[in-house]
């Protein structure tokens, strides 16, 4: 398969994922995850860090992601009640490697978050995905979102799925 | 403001404590806090472990002051004002790193890591009165440490750090005792985030266990899903799964001291850590019992303590250990910096468990902190009515004052406010 066609497939997948996350369809999003999926956001000042030795903002294994979804959808998740409105743009998608049934892809993201009718936040960064082929689509094995800002600062919390 | 220029109404006879809400919204009060609180108290700068080698440095804003926290060429820990003696530019723009010198990019004045002025370009243009030895980088009036926790004080007349910390050292020691060698370190990865709320609301929130069932029901639910018992005992007045106390440590410092229910990396196992963690955690506990005796090992392992060192340092020893400092950035906003702390000799697996446990509760992506942030921001929004709804109610548990003080009472919050009010009154 050509590099361009793999990229097109991955782009389609990432755009689907973005749509689910923007619309809080987290159970549908969960169906995109492999059984060993991880979701990581390293600290802004240690973007290359390993979550086993560096304090991250988020370092979820599969079960923790499941618990995070339960929490995020609970009306008592005060940080997300009422739900933030989200709109994300995924761009600059590149295939870093494609071997066997595994594809590693990188992309840039801009996630706009609108909160309580008045505050807006712009989460900008770089992401890295390890995807496993699953029939005509993929499952997410690793999803690492790295924020570009020097600190989280005025972005406050990451209480939604970035 | 209440009677006698005070911001609190402290009626111990009736058992009513009220706080004037202007303290969170009035810009003039913030200005006075900078001179009467932050310029008088010992303020946390950093931990010595962040400076491993000579030349290592971090630049920070501490109490509104840009400083360089550095280990000089001889290995001494320094706190220097990040301000060139020539025209006042910062001399180090990097957030952290290792350097032999700090050079001002404006005119090229160069300072050693101990702050002394090393070189001035075109020095022959000055008269003999120009004395380089008096032109080193300045620093705070006092700078000292307790067990490698470094604090500055801008007041030359301040008491010693040891006198200031007073009884808090007993609680710092309980944290440091996790380490067999007595050496703790700050781990890589810093969480820095703003909260759109007055900084003092974070002091209250850090020790206020009354809010746990309502603010953190999703965290309690997560704990329950992970196999932890979270139902409160059937004892009147208790709102939490276990009993806990609020303890006055003098000088405006205080702590909660709670029987653990939530799991602790050192060393109280919960199912969340996995079966494979049991043998190592048993060994960690056995080492503590051997080194400290069974009673103190129980204190270290089976109690959670959220310690406030007045005015703005919190050490939470709970789901993990976090060191957290916060500063006002305007009256309705604060900047929070949070670090993870662990024993230097910790194994890779224990370290990973500590970091994972940290994220179950704490931080901007944790299962609890974002809701704390939300609650504080909601307070700040609500306080916009302060002129017509003036007083915050903070009397919980006041009938028991002098007796047993629960962590879910507001006794310790009142300790903070009494100290704060006295200082603001003293220097009015």
A111 touches A118 (CB < 8 A): no
**Inter-chain residue contact B188 with A54, CB threshold 8 Å:** yes
Pairing outcome for strands B191-195 and B184-186: unpaired
Q: Is the pTM of this model over 0.90?
A: yes
Residue among B132, B124, B302, B308 nearest B208 (CA): B308
Cα–Cα distances (Å) from A88 to A91, A110, A140, B368, B370, in that order, read: 10, 5, 18, 25, 21
B72 touches B51 (CB < 8 A): no
ipTM (interface predicted TM): 0.96
Which of B225, B335, B351 comes nearest A52 by C-beta?
B351
Q: Is residue A157 part of a domain?
A: no
Quote the pLDDT of residue A117: 72
> CB under 8 Å, gap of 24 or more: what pairs does B380-383 form?
B380/B24, B380/B196, B380/B197, B380/B198, B380/B201, B380/B332, B383/B21, B383/B24, B383/B25
**Inter-chain residue contact A67 with B369, CB threshold 8 Å:** no
Quote the pLDDT of residue B403: 83
Mutate to test the interface with B, among A116, A157, A158 (most CBs of B within 10 A): A157
Residue B427, pLDDT above cutoff 80: no
Here the tokens at position B406 are: 């629960």
Quote the pLDDT of residue B231: 83
Q: In the predicted model, what is the mean pLDDT of residues A146-154?
A: 94
Tracing tokens 């993990």 back to the chain, one arrives at B320
pLDDT tens digits for B70-124?
A: 999 999 999 999 999 999 999 999 999 999 999 999 999 999 999 999 999 999 9
Residue A66, pLDDT above cutoff 80: yes
Q: Is residue A59 part of a domain?
A: yes
**Inter-chain residue contact B188 with A55, CB threshold 8 Å:** yes
B79 touches B45 (CB < 8 A): yes
Q: In the predicted model, what is the mean pLDDT of residues A37-49?
A: 98
How close does chain B come to A84, measured CA to CA in Å?
13
Provide the 3-class DSSP secondary structure of residue B274. coil
Contacts of B358 in chain A (CB under 8 A): 55
- Is residue A43 within 8 angstroms of chain B, CB to CB? yes
Residue A142 pairs in a beta bridge with A38, A130
B156 touches B147 (CB < 8 A): no
Q: Which CATH architecture has domain B177-426?
A: Alpha-Beta Complex (3.90)
Q: Is residue A10 part of a domain?
A: yes
Residue among B301, B206, B207 nearest B260 (CA): B301
Residue B45, pLDDT above cutoff 70: yes
**CA–CA gap between residue A162 and residue A141 (Å, rounded):** 16
Mean pLDDT for all residues in chain B: 95
Contacts of B187 in chain A (CB under 8 A): 53-55
pLDDT tens digits for B343-394?
A: 999 999 999 999 999 999 999 999 999 999 999 999 999 999 999 999 999 9
How many domains would you assign to chain A? Answer: 1
How close does chain B come to A115, measured CA to CA in Å?
11
Quote the pLDDT of residue B47: 98
pLDDT tens digits for B246-259?
A: 999 999 999 999 99
pLDDT tens digits for A7-25?
A: 999 999 999 999 999 999 9
**CA–CA gap between residue B143 and residue B184 (Å, rounded):** 20
Residue B428, pLDDT above cutoff 70: no
Quote the pLDDT of residue B1: 62
Q: Is residue A13 part of a domain?
A: yes
Domain extents for chain B?
44-161, 177-426
Q: What CATH number is attached to the domain comprising A87?
A: 3.10.450.50
Segment among A13-17, A142-146, A157-161, B261-265 with least mean pLDDT: B261-265
pLDDT tens digits for B191-233?
A: 999 999 999 999 999 999 999 999 999 999 999 999 998 887 7
Q: Is residue A160 part of a domain?
A: no
Q: Is residue A158 part of a domain?
A: no
What DSSP letter does each residue of chain A carry, written as one string? Answer: --HHHHHHHHHHHHHHHHHHHHTT-HHHHHTTEEEEEEEEE--TT-TT--TTTS--SEEE-HHHHHHHHHHHHSTT-GGGSSPPEEEEEEEEEEEEEEETTEEEEEEEEEEEEEETTTEEEEEEEEEEEEEEEETTEEEEEEEEEEE-SSS-BTT----S--
Quote the pLDDT of residue A22: 98
B263 touches B270 (CB < 8 A): yes
The whole domain housing A36 covers 3-149
A161 touches A123 (CB < 8 A): no
Which of B187, B194, B196 comes nearest A54 by C-beta?
B187
Provide the 3-class DSSP secondary structure of residue B352. helix
Q: What are phi and psi of B252, to 5 degrees?
A: 85, 0
Q: Is residue A55 part of a domain?
A: yes
Helices (H), B305-405: 348-361, 369-382
B136 touches B111 (CB < 8 A): yes
Contacts of A49 in chain B (CB under 8 A): 188-189
Mean pLDDT for all residues in chain A: 96
Quote the pLDDT of residue B5: 78
Regarding the domain with residue range B44-161, which homologous superfamily does it belong to in the CATH classification? Rieske [2Fe-2S] iron-sulphur domain (2.102.10.10)
Quote the pLDDT of residue A124: 98
Residue B3, pLDDT above cutoff 70: no
B280 touches B349 (CB < 8 A): yes
Q: Quote the distance between the C-alpha of residue B128 and its chain's center.
A: 47
Read off the pLDDT band of A118 (50, 70, 90).
confident
């Amino acid at each position: 398969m050509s590099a361009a066609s793999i990229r097109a497939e991955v782009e389609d997948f990432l755009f689907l994922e973005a749509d689910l996350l923007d619309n809080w369809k987290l159970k549908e999003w969960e169906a995109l995850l492999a059984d060993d999926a991880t979701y990581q956001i390293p600290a802004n000042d240690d973007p290359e860090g390993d979550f086993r030795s560096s304090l991250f903002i988020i370092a979820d294994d599969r079960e923790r992601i499941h618990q995070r979804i339960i929490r995020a959808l609970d009306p008592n998740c005060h940080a997300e009640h009422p739900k933030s409105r989200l709109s994300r743009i995924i761009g600059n998608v590149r295939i870093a490697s494609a071997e066997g049934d595994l594809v590693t892809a990188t992309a840039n993201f801009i996630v706009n978050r609108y909160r309580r009718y008045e505050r807006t936040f712009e989460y900008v960064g770089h992401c890295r995905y390890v995807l496993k082929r699953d029939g005509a689509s993929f499952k997410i094995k690793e999803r690492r979102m790295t924020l570009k800002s020097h600190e989280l600062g005025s972005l406050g919390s990451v209480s939604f799925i970035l | 403001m209440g009677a006698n220029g005070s911001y609190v109404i402290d009626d111990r006879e009736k058992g009513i404590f009220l706080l004037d809400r202007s303290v969170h919204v009035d810009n003039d009060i913030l200005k006075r806090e900078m001179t009467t609180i932050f310029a008088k108290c010992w303020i946390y700068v950093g931990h010595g472990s962040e400076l491993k080698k000579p030349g290592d440095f971090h630049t920070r804003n501490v109490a509104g002051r840009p400083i360089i926290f550095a280990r000089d060429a001889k290995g001494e820990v320094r706190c220097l004002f990040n301000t060139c003696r020539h025209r006042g530019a910062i001399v180090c723009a990097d957030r952290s790193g290792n350097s032999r010198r700090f050079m001002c990019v404006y005119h090229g004045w160069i300072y050693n890591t101990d702050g002394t002025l090393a070189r001035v370009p075109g020095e022959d243009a000055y008269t003999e009165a120009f004395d380089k030895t008096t032109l080193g980088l300045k620093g705070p009036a006092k700078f000292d440490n307790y067990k490698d926790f470094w604090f500055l004080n801008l007041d030359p007349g301040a008491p010693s750090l040891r006198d200031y910390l007073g009884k808090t050292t007993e609680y710092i020691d309980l944290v440091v005792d996790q380490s067999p060698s007595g050496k703790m370190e700050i781990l890589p990865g810093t969480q820095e985030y703003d909260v759109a709320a007055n900084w003092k609301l974070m002091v209250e929130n850090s020790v206020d266990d009354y809010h746990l069932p309502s603010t953190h029901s999703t965290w309690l639910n997560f704990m329950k899903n992970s196999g932890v018992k979270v139902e409160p005992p059937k004892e009147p007045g208790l709102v939490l799964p276990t009993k806990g106390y609020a303890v006055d440590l003098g000088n405006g410092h205080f702590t909660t001291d709670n029987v653990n229910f939530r799991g602790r990396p050192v060393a109280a196992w919960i199912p969340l850590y996995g079966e494979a963690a049991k043998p190592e955690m048993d060994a960690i506990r056995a080492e503590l019992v051997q080194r400290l005796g069974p009673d103190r090992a129980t204190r270290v392992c089976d109690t959670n303590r959220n310690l406030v060192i007045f005015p703005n340092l919190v050490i939470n020893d709970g789901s993990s250990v976090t060191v957290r400092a916060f500063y006002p950035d305007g009256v309705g906003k604060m900047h929070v910096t949070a670090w993870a702390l662990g024993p230097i000799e910790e194994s890779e697996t224990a370290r990973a468990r500590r970091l994972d446990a940290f994220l179950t509760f704490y931080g901007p992506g944790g299962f609890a902190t974002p809701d704390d942030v939300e609650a504080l921001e909601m307070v700040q929004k609500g306080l916009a009515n302060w002129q017509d709804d003036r007083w915050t109610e903070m009397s919980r548990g006041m009938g028991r004052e002098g007796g047993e003080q629960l962590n879910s009472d507001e006794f310790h919050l009142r300790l903070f406010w009494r100290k704060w009010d006295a200082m603001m009154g003293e220097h009015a």
